[in-house]
Amino acid sequence: MKKITGVNILDDQIEEKLNTRNIFQIFNNFIIPLISKEEQEFLEELEDFLLKKVEPRIDLNKDVYELFPLLGEGDYIQRLNQFGNVNKFGMRYEILLAMATSIIDPELDLARVVSGVIFANPLFQHGRGDHIQNILNEIMSGEKIGAICITERQHGSDAVNMQTSIEEYEDYLVLNGEKVYTTNGSKADYFVVYGVSNKHDPRGSMYQLLIDREFAGIETNRLGIQSIPRVEVSQTIFNSVKVPKEYIIGKQGIGYRNLFSGLVAERDAIIGSSLGISWLTAITALIYTNLRTQFGKPLYDFQAVSFPITQLFTELMAATELGFKSATEYKKTLKYEDQKFIKYNAAFSSGTKFLASNLAQRISYETQQLCGGIAFTDNMRIDKALEVAKVQEIIGGARNIQLYLVSRGIKDIVKRLAL
Ligand SMILES: Cc1cc2nc3c(=O)[nH]c(=O)nc-3n(C[C@H](O)[C@H](O)[C@H](O)COP(=O)(O)OP(=O)(O)OC[C@H]3O[C@@H](n4cnc5c(N)ncnc54)[C@H](O)[C@@H]3O)c2cc1C
């Protein structure tokens, strides 16, 4: 991996030990007891692939998108849905993929999850026709990139009351509006976009459309998000974009249903990325503090260093168990008829996303302080991970919104018991 600009001041012997192979080895010690034999085989193959094929090509001076085709070669753009000849898929595999990819490059994983899961999952779930299959082929190869457009300048957490408008005519639709914070936006070839035909009835009139960059009237302008310089996040403007009807993924009203059921997959995938960031920084700190000496002994021999690290590991082990549980439960959301599980999973995935993304930020911040100055340089991956963790906490819904969904779920139980 190429460093950014700074000089290397990391002790040679520590640098030698602080490689990704060792980080994966320690990670596997914690993860393998939690997963099946098949999942273990998948994880080990994936780690080998990332170490040999992807990591040598990571250049922190370049956007992450050049690495997408490499992930595509290994069928690692996503593992939530079945695609091609792959037989190991599902949310638990997706979480393993997100964890391992975040360990080698958290920015790469952020952009991958948006294209491979958050953009592509609606196509897998609701898209029909050869053109959808062709687009999925392009996205899964990593040659093309997808983005999702929900958030608007005036409507963030209050996403339902969106202003983006859709007019439906006999043979086509017309899309007008501005979306903001579109991850991958300025690089994207395709967008999944939500808009409404009646602003006073967004639930009943929301559409979910697939938009091809080639359609006339699309403009993307990059936003200056300083924490993730290798990922392009944009303002996306749709100026009277004429959309053929076969590009409707969710028709009037169904768009709302698809938006909310899709958010569970989105949150679960982000949980995987947040856990990956947490394991990366926790293990880095564990190795470093065992090797770095001050006052004649390793930092880890001071309880003021080892106890906080141990506490973070304890919390991380619990969050990882919860993340796998949330992934196992995901399949229960796939049948819309099963409303009881849909509601339960909306709350469960929100609570777990709240915990995991907050923990990633906290572990990265705390381990940076515990390792000292070196963790602020690009000689270690902690500072980069901390920046991405901040984004993970807001993307997919700010933390209050996750808590809001959990609180609504809890209230529902009380209501059902008529207390
Ligand atoms: C780097 C980045 C990438 C992103 N990528 C995408 C993307 O690809 N696609 C996309 O559509 N969106 C994306 N987002 C948008 C993200 O989902 C929103 O930023 C998020 O939903 C919050 O909306 P907002 O920024 O408008 O904040 P606001 O909604 O204005 O919220 C501001 C604060 O108020 C709190 N708040 C709001 N309402 C309530 C309430 N009812 N109760 C309690 N607290 C409340 C929030 O929790 C938050 O702390 C991205 C954002 C960032 C920063």
- The two three-digit tokens of residue 383, written as one number: 């500072």
Our measurement of the distance from residue 380's CA atom to the centroid of its chain's CA atoms, rounded to an integer in Å, reads: 22
Ligand 1 mean position, distance from CA 388 (Å): 16
CATH of domain 255-416: 1.20.140.10
> Which residues lie across from 28 on neighbouring strands?
none
Torsion of CA 209, 130, 138, 127, to 10 degrees: 40
- Helix 91-104 and helix 254-291, axial crossing angle in degrees, nearest 10: 40
Question: Count of alpha carbons within 13 Å of 360, Cβ hemisphere only?
Answer: 34
Q: Is 317 helix (H, G, I), strand (E, B) or coil?
A: helix
Reported pTM: 0.96
> What number does the ligand 1 atom closest to the CA of 231 have?
1
Ligand 1 mean position, distance from CA 22 (Å): 36
Residue 338 scores a pLDDT above 70: no
Contact 136, 128 (CB under 8 A): no
pLDDT at residue 341 in the model: 74
Give residue-wise pLDDT tens across range 156-203: 999 999 999 999 999 999 999 999 999 999 999 999 999 999 999 999
Which CATH architecture does the domain made up of 12-141 adopt? Orthogonal Bundle (1.10)
Place of tokens 């993340």: 323
> What number does the ligand 1 atom closest to the CA of 157 have?
29
Q: Which amino acid is at 379?
A: N
- The two three-digit tokens of residue 381, written as one number: 């991956």
Q: Whose CA is closest to atom 33 on ligand 1? A: 398
Ligand 1 mean position, distance from CA 358 (Å): 15
- The two three-digit tokens of residue 224, written as one number: 């200056």
DSSP string, 97-150: HHHHHHHH-HHHHHHHHIIIIIIHHHHHHH--SHHHHHHHHHHHHTSS-EEEE-
Ligand 1 mean position, distance from CA 393 (Å): 10
Give residue-wise pLDDT tens across range 67-113: 999 999 999 999 999 999 999 999 999 999 999 999 999 999 999 99
> What number does the ligand 1 atom closest to the CA of 147 have?
8
Give residue-wise pLDDT tens across range 4-50: 568 999 999 999 999 999 999 999 999 999 999 999 999 999 999 99
Who lines ligand 1 at CB under 6 A? Answer: 114, 148-151, 156-157, 181-183, 225, 233, 391, 394-395, 397-398, 400-401, 404
Write down the H helix ranges in 303-373.
303-330, 339-371
Residue 336 scores a pLDDT above 70: no
Mean per-residue pLDDT of the chain:
95
> What number does the ligand 1 atom closest to the CA of 225 have?
1
Q: For the chain, what are the domain ranges?
A: 12-141, 146-253, 255-416
Closest CA to 95 of 85, 103, 87: 103
If 0-12 CB within 10 Å is exposed, 13-18 middle and 19+ buried, where does residue 94 land? buried
> What number does the ligand 1 atom closest to the CA of 397 have?
21
**Homologous superfamily of the 146-253 domain (CATH):** Butyryl-CoA Dehydrogenase, subunit A, domain 2 (2.40.110.10)
Contact 122, 150 (CB under 8 A): no
Contact 247, 211 (CB under 8 A): yes
Residue 401: how many other CB atoms lie within 10 Å: 18
- Give the angle subtended at the CA of 347 by the CAs of 268 and 110, to the nearest 5°: 25
Q: Whose CA is closest to atom 42 on ligand 1? A: 400
- The two three-digit tokens of residue 194, written as one number: 């939500």
Give residue-wise pLDDT tens across range 352-409: 999 999 999 999 999 999 999 999 999 999 999 999 999 999 999 999 999 999 998 8
